[in-house]
Structure 1
Amino acid sequence: MADVLTYTFTKFMSQSGSKKDFRVTPPAPTQCKVLIVGEQDLGRSVLLLSAVTAASQMGVRVVFFARKQIQSLPVSLQNCVPCLTPESLKKIKFCYPRTLEELLQQVAGLHESTNTFPTPPSLIIVDGLEDFVWGHAVDIHSGEQSCTAHLSSLLCDTATFLTGILEQQTASSAPCRVIASYKPKEQIDESSVSDQVLDTLDRYFEVRCTLDQDRSYKAEAAGLKEVWNIYFSGTAITLEPCTEETGVRPSLVQEWQLLIFPDGLMEFQLV
């Protein structure tokens, strides 16, 4: 399920937003794969915010894969987490594979004992799947769909393998989660075929988190830089209310809004 993202959003919830109290049902080990779909730079900011939150607040190890090197934390993230300590960042390992083949090798390398001692990562993040699967099919002599399926299945198998080690070490359910981002191909016109890479990803990632910019006058009226609608969908989502008074009901779709202020500060609202 999207427990890491949901936890992140609630940690940075707008003070003026909804304060409905809810808890997230702990996900089963096979239901911990989330795909963020939308604008690339915003998706990267959400991934980084989730990585930092998981490392600093949840105390887990994170492996962050990206093709483009991250020189510094985005201003939005610095504003959200002003008290971030170097010790927290040490729990995040940044890896920069240049090709799909290198990414596959590095993900497979997470099975090695050097990467699981003393504690294996509990969160695997892949930034910009499109950077690896588009135009890199020649690396493994197959089409984009086959490349996508190969990478997705390896991520799933690796998460399952690491989950087993975590459970042995902690004697409790401690699933390894996977969060990846993907920017769909732009449609030329309404008759264009669907994005088959995205269709393939949906078969492996049980939860989709869609980022959709609100282009109404809400941002301007509220003095905001941007407003984004965030939609969770998928069969692995199981939200339960803490009390009958909360008004939050179990649903397959959960909606949030992301408010971005002129200074880069990011806040979330539960819709």
Structure 2
Amino acid sequence: MADILTLVFRTFTSQTALRNDVTPSLPPAAPCSTLLVGNQRVSRSMLLLAAVTAASEMGIKVVFFAQTQIQSLPVSLQKCVPSLSPESLKKITFSYPRTLEELLQQVASLHESPIPPSLIIVDRLEGFLCCPAGSSHSGLHSGEQSAAAHVAALLCDTAAFLTDLLEQRGSSSAPCRIIASFLSGVETDHDSKDSSATDPILDVLDRYFQTRCTLDQNRGYEAAAAAAEEAWHIYLSGRRIFAENCPDKPSLAQEWQLFIFPDGLMEFKLV
């Protein structure tokens, strides 16, 4: 299992699909960093679903960073997890740094927490890097790429440090994982599975994040055929996927479908 996102996919697999391997369990004990690339609205819903799944099913502490305040849980999350308890939500700490500097300071201070988090989530990383969606990166200054490298390196180093800290304390919540979302400003080809590869910031982030999870909207017939409002393809790629697809291990699922229904329910299907 690549990361907690894959656990989310398996936990919320379509009811019509076989669900022989959806028992919630933590992925293998090795640090994992995942970059979620794609639509802002869907990405945030998936990040929140990952946070809630980790807190409620695994009982681990989660820190969720975002620039804009989350006033309420999206309808999709309420539909997927109708029995979410207040106690589970207490395991999630929401923090709202406004600038890159504030984000760096707050990430660097995570080790001071009495109970270190086992999952760090950063929503819309491009907002902290001052790279608004839809803008051209053709004249991108090297300073912005350096900022991307700085925050990515700090996240990875912090996760490694917190993993050691959790292991020293004998915590079953180790290791600490990272999931961040990023929306490229480069115009992309919707038919490409690696559609944002020409973005220089994304190139930098890929050097640090072990796994990329790419969202690509399916504009064909599949949504209508499933009586869904939207259909999305989810592609997993990166160093972690390659490393874990070893001959002596089961092959990791690299492609999923996400269906979003008119009532807001989200369901995943293994391709």
What interval of TM-score do these two structures reach, taking the shorter chain for normalisation? 0.7 to 0.9
* Aligned residue in 2 for 1:6: 6
* Aligned residue in 1 for 2:30: 28
* Aligned residue in 1 for 2:153: 153
Q: Could you tell me whether the CA contact under 8 Å between 1:228 and 1:259 is conserved in 2? A: yes
Cα drift, residue 135 of structure 1: 5.0
Amino acid at match of 1:201: L
Query: Which of 221, 225, 234 matches 1:217?
Result: 221
* Aligned residue in 1 for 2:199: 195
Amino acid at match of 1:65: F
Q: Could you tell me whether the CA contact under 8 Å between 1:36 and 1:211 is conserved in 2? A: yes
* Aligned residue in 2 for 1:245: none
Matches of 1:188 and 1:176, distance apart in 2: 32
Cα drift, residue 240 of structure 1: 7.8
Structure 2 matches for 1:86-235, cutoff 5 A?
A: 86-112=86-112, 115=113, 117=114, 119-135=115-131, 143-170=143-170, 174-187=174-187, 194-235=198-239
Q: Could you tell me whether the CA contact under 8 Å between 1:3 and 1:27 is conserved in 2? A: no
Instruction: Quickly say closer, same or farther: Cα 1:25–1:69, change in 2 above 3 A.
Output: closer
* Aligned residue in 1 for 2:254: 254
Larger displacement relative to structure 2 (210-219 or 10-19)? 10-19
Cα drift, residue 79 of structure 1: 0.6
Q: In structure 1, the residue corresponding to 2:239 is in which secondary structure? A: coil
Instruction: Quickly say closer, same or farther: Cα 1:173–1:76, change in 2 above 3 A.
Output: closer
Amino acid at match of 1:230: I
Matched residues, percent identical? 63
RMSD: 2.7
Q: In structure 1, the residue corresponding to 2:148 is in which secondary structure? A: helix
Cα drift, residue 241 of structure 1: 10
Cα drift, residue 109 of structure 1: 1.2
Larger displacement relative to structure 2 (164-173 or 72-81)? 164-173
> Residue deviations 1:135-162, cap 9 Å, x none?
59xxxx9611000000001101110111
Amino acid at match of 1:216: G
Instruction: Quickly say closer, same or farther: Cα 1:63–1:193, change in 2 above 3 A.
Output: closer
Larger displacement relative to structure 2 (228-237 or 55-64)? 228-237
Q: In structure 2, the residue corresponding to 1:44 is in which secondary structure? A: helix
> Residue deviations 1:16-53, cap 9 Å, x none?
12446489861523xx1000000011000000000000
Q: In structure 2, the residue corresponding to 1:41 is in which secondary structure? A: helix
Matches of 1:188 and 1:122, distance apart in 2: 34
Q: Structure 1 length as normaliser, TM-score?
A: 0.86
Cα drift, residue 107 of structure 1: 0.5
Equivalenced residues, count: 253
Cα drift, residue 260 of structure 1: 0.7
Cα drift, residue 221 of structure 1: 2.8
Matches of 1:61 and 1:15, distance apart in 2: 28
Matches of 2:177 and 2:197, distance apart in 1: 31
* Aligned residue in 1 for 2:138: none
Matches of 1:24 and 1:60, distance apart in 2: 10
Amino acid at match of 2:86: P
- Which consecutive unaligned segments of at least 5 residues does structure 2 have? 133-140, 190-195
Cα drift, residue 218 of structure 1: 1.4
* Aligned residue in 2 for 1:53: 53
Q: Could you tell me whether the CA contact under 8 Å between 1:152 and 1:204 is conserved in 2? A: yes
Q: In structure 2, the residue corresponding to 1:170 is in which secondary structure? A: coil
Q: Could you tell me whether the CA contact under 8 Å between 2:60 and 2:173 is conserved in 1? A: no
Q: Could you tell me whether the CA contact under 8 Å between 2:26 and 2:58 is conserved in 1? A: no
Q: In structure 1, the residue corresponding to 2:109 is in which secondary structure? A: helix
